[in-house]
A and B are shown apart, each in its own frame.
Chain A
Amino acid sequence: MIAVTSRRAIARHMCVSLWREQRLTWVFCITVFLSIVAGLHGSRQLSLFENARLSAEKQDRQTFVQQGERNPHSVAHFSRFAMRPALAATILDPGIRPYSGSAVWMEAHWQSFPNLRQAEDQVDLGRGIEVSAAWVVQIILPLLLILLGFDSVASERNKGTLVLLRGNGVSIFRMVFAKILALWLIACLLLCVVLAVSILAALVTDVGVGVGTDFFLRSLIWLLVNAIYLAIWSTLIVGFSLLLKPMMVFLMLIGIWVGMNLVLPRASAILADTLMPTPSAEAFANAIRSDIKQGIDGHNPSDARRKALEERVLKQYGVSKLEELPVSFTGIALQEGEEYSNQVFDQHFTRLNQSFLKKERIRRMFSIASPLVALQPISMSLADSGLYSHIDFMQRAESQRRQIVKTLNQDLIDNGVGKGFEYHADHKLWGRIPEYKHINYPIVKSLKDCFIDFGILLVWLLVSGLVLLRIVRREEAAQ
C-alpha cells in the first residue's frame, strides 16, 4: 500500500514539476497545434479526394452506359476505371496512399498499375514531413518526451533528493517505475488529444467516409499500439536519465531518436533496394509483352496458336469451316488470348508483389534497432494505407478487369456470329457490366499481416523493461 502511495506521489510530483516549469504547457500546446493542423489537413484532403472520386465514378458510369452502340471489344479497350475509396482512418496515417496510385484502368489485354498518385500533383519539400496524426505521434511526440524526461532521474540526483527518497525507504526501482509511469501517462494523454482531434476531423468530413464501428475499432487499436511505442520511449528516456548526466542523456537520446526515426527507416530502404532491386517499368512491361507474344494474341490470325485453337473449336462444334460455327470465333480467340495473358500477368505481378513483400521483410529486420520500423506497418495497415491493402486493391481490380472483359467477349461469342468486329452491342450490355465495388481490406487481416511487427514491438517493450530492471538492480546494489 505504501509502495503504491509513494509511486503515485513521485509520479504526481513529476507531472506537477513539469507543469510548474511550463515544459508540459509548451509540449501540450505544440501537440494540440500540430494535431489541429494534421486533423484539418487530413480532413480537407479526404474530403477533396472522396468528393472528386464519387463524382468521377458517377460521371464515368453514365458515360459508360450511354456510350451508344459499339463493338464489345472496343468497349473492352475503353473499359472502366477501378477507383479506390479512402477510409476515414486514413486521417490517422496516410501511409503509402499518396505515393501508390488510387485508380486502375481495367482495359483489355493489359493489367495496369494503379495510376493517379496524389503526390505527383503536390509540391515536394522532402519526405518524412507529411503532417498527420501518425507523424505527430510517431516522430514529434518522442522528441517532446525527451524534452520532458531527459533529466527526470538525473535532476533528483543533482538536487540530492534521490538520497532523501532512498532514506525514506523508496527504492530506486519504485522511483524509476513511477517516473516511467508519469512520462507514459503524459504521453498517453497527448496521444489521446491527437486521436480525439483526428476523430473529430473525420466526423466533420463532409463525405460518407465510413465513420462507424470499423473506424472506431481501428482507432482504438491504433491508440493501443502507439501507446506501446510511447511506453518504449518513456522507458528509454528514464533509463538513460538514470545512467548518465542530464546533458549526456539529452545528447544520447537525440542521437538515438535521429538514428531510430530518421536514419534507419531510410537506410533500410537502401538495403532493400540493393538486395531486391525492382525492374524498371519498361523492363517489366517488355518481359510481359515478350511472354504474351509466345501465346495467342487474339488479333493475330497468322499465329500458330490461333491455328491450334481453330482446329480445337471446329472439332468441338463438329464443323469444318469457321463460317459454319454457331458462335463468333473472333470472340473465342479474344477470350483465349485473355486467358493466356492472365497467366502471364499472374506470374509477373505475383513475382513483383512478392518482391515488394520481401523488401518489407528486409526492412522489418531493422525493427530490431528501431521500434518505429515495426510500428509503421501496423499503423499504416490500421489506417488502410499500407502495402497489403494496396496489393489487395490491385488484385481486386484485376479480377474485376477479367470479369468485365470476359462478359464483353462472351457477348461477342454469342451474338457476333459472322460479324466479328462489325458486331455492335447496345446499352443493355453496358448496363450488365458490374460496377467495381471496393471491399475494404478487413481489419482482422490487417492485424494478421502485421502480427510479427506487433510481436517485435512487444519484445522491444519487454527487453527495454528488463534491461532497465537490471540497471536499477545494479544501481541499488551499488548504493
Chain B
Amino acid sequence: MSFFWRNVFWDLRSIYRSGALVGSIVILLAFCIMALYQGLMVTNQWQQQVVSAQASVEENIAALQKEPPETPKAVAVTFFMQRPPVILPPAPLVELATGRTDLEPRVGKAGAFKQSNTMFRDYQIEGPIQVALGKLDLVFVVQWLFPLIIIGLGFGLLTEDRGRGVDRLLRIQGASLCHLTIARLVARSAVTLVPIILVLIFVWGFGQNAGMHIAQKSNRLMWAAFLIFAYIGFWWALVLWVNTWRLGRSQNLAVLVLVWIINALVLPALVSVASRSAHPAPSRHALVAESRAQEIAATKLSAELMGGYVHDHPELDKEHANKLPWWVGIHLISKEVDSSVATQSNDFVVALESQQTAARKWRFLSPALMLYQGMTGLAGTDEKRFAEFRKQAQLFQNEYREAAGKLMIVDQKLDIETFKQLSSFKFKEPRLEETRSQIMLSISFLNLLILLLAVHAMYRLKSTQPD
C-alpha cells in the first residue's frame, strides 16, 4: 500500500478512535433522513392536492353528462358553476429543496366570468408560523449544517500535528506534508460525502418521478450532485487554506465559524434585502383597488361593451345580437378589467424577475447562495417554475374565457367533448437549459475558488514546511 493510502486509513482510524467519524456520519445521516422525510411529506401533500383537483375535473364532466345544457342560459350556468382547475404538477425534485412550495399557489381555477387576478384566491392553508420558519429540507442541511461538520472535522487538520511536533518528525522521516495533508483531506471529506451520496441514490431510486423520464431525473440529480460536491469541496478547501495560516486551533475555529456566519447567514440576508430594495414589487393593495375601480367603470359601461362586442362580431345574427343576456355583460366586464390592469399585473412579474436576476448576479458573493439558488432551480421550486405556471395559467384562462364566451354568446350547443377539450390545462415544464447554464457557472466559480484556495494552501505548505 502506498504512503498516501496508508495515511488515508491512518487518519480515518484516528478520527474513528476520537469518535468524530461515527459522530459526524450519524449526525449528517440523521439530518439527511429528517430532510428527506420533510421532502417526501411535501411531495405527498402536493400529489394529493393534484389528485383531488383532478377528481373535481371528473366530477364536472360527470355533472355535465348527467344534465347536458340545452339552452344558452343553461350553457352559461354550466360555465358559471364549472371552473376548470389549473394544476401545477409536483416539482421534479421537491425532495431536495422545497423552496417556494409553501408560498405559491399550486392549483387555481379558470372561469368564463373570472378576472385573471382572482384565479389563485384560495391559498394553500399551511400553519403561517411553519411557513415563516421554513422547512428542514436537504438544501438547508447541506447549506447550513454540512459546513459546520466540515469545520468540526477540519479546523485542526494541521495544527494538531504542529502542536505535538509530529510535523517535524514526519519531515525527518522524509514524508511530504503536502501528501499527508491531501491524504487527510481525502479521508475526512469522504466522511461528509458518504451521507450525501446515499441520499442522492435514495432520491434517484425511490423518490417520485413527477412525470419525468428516468434520464431527465438522472440529469437533474447529476447536476445537483455536482453542485453539492463543489459546495462541500469549497468548504474543505477553505478549511485547508485557513489551516495553513499557522494559527492556533481555537483561532482556526473562530475564523472558520465567522466565515460560516457571513456566508450562510449575513450575506444571503443582505443580498435578499438589497435585491428587494432595488426592485420593490408594486402594491397588491393598489392592484386590488384599481381592478375594482375598473370593474365598476366597466359595469357602468356594460351596455356599451355589449354593443361593442356585437359590432366586432358581425357573424352574430341580428335578432340574437339585439337581445344579448345580462351574463354576457359580466363575461365582457371580466375581460375589460383584465385588459385595463394588464400593465399593473405585469409589473409584479417584472419586479420579481428583476429581484431574481439581481439575486442571481449577487450569488457569487456567497457559495451558500449559489447552492440554494442552484438546488431550488434543479428541484423546480424556485421563482421561475412558479412564474411559468402563473403565466401559462393566465394564458389558459384567457383562452378558456374567450372560447367559453363564444359558445355562450353564439348559442352553440355544449357537448362533453368540447367541454373536455376546453377545460384541460396541461402545464409545460420550462426547459432546464437556462437553469443548467446558471448552475454550470456556479459550479465553475466554486471550482475556481477551490483551485485558488488549494493552490495557495499548497504553496504555503511547501514554503512554511519545517526544516
Contacts and interface: CB of A to CB of B under 8 A. Distances in A.
A123 interface: yes
A62 B295 CA distance: 13
14 contacts: A56-B286, A56-B288, A66-B296, A68-B300, A100-B131, A125-B372, A126-B143, A129-B269, A130-B269, A147-B254, A147-B258, A278-B127, A281-B125, A359-B129
B292 A60 contact: yes
Contacts of B31: 263
B423 interface: no
Given A56-B283, A254-B257, A278-B127, A140 B265 contact: yes
Interface stretch (B44-52, B200-208, B429-437): B44-52
Interface stretch (B7-15, B63-71, B97-105, B177-185): B97-105
Contacts of A103: 284-285, 288
B233 to A, nearest CB: 21
B423 to A, nearest CB: 16
Contacts of B121: 105, 112, 115
A53 interface: yes
Interface stretch (A166-174, A282-290, A447-455): A282-290
A283 B52 contact: yes
A99 B351 contact: no
Interface stretch (B133-141, B314-322, B402-410): B133-141
Interface of A: 34, 37, 41, 44, 48-49, 52-53, 55-57, 59-60, 62-64, 66-68, 70, 78, 81, 83, 95-96, 98-103, 105, 112-113, 115-117, 119-131, 135, 139-140, 143, 147, 151, 246-247, 250-251, 254-255, 258, 262-263, 265-267, 269-270, 272-274, 277-286, 352, 355-356, 359-360, 363, 387, 390
A325 to B, nearest CB: 25
A81 B288 contact: yes
Given A120-B104, A254-B148, A126 B122 contact: no
A151 B296 CA distance: 69
A283 B240 CA distance: 53
Contacts of B270: 37, 131
B29 interface: no
Contacts of A139: 265
Contacts of B107: 281-282
Most B C-beta atoms less than 10 A away, residue of A105, A117, A266: A266
B392 interface: no
A199 B345 CA distance: 35
Chain A to chain B: the 7 pairs with minimum beta-carbon distance, closest first? A127-B134, A52-B283, A121-B281, A56-B285, A266-B136, A123-B355, A56-B289
B250 interface: yes
B465 interface: no
A225 B125 CA distance: 31
Given A250-B257, A274-B41, A128 B122 contact: no
A247 B249 contact: yes
A63 B296 contact: yes
Given A139-B265, A273-B130, A124 B99 contact: yes
Contacts of B283: 48-49, 52-53, 56
Contacts of B125: 113, 278-281, 284, 352
Contacts of B41: 270, 273-274
Given A121-B284, A250-B250, A101 B359 contact: no
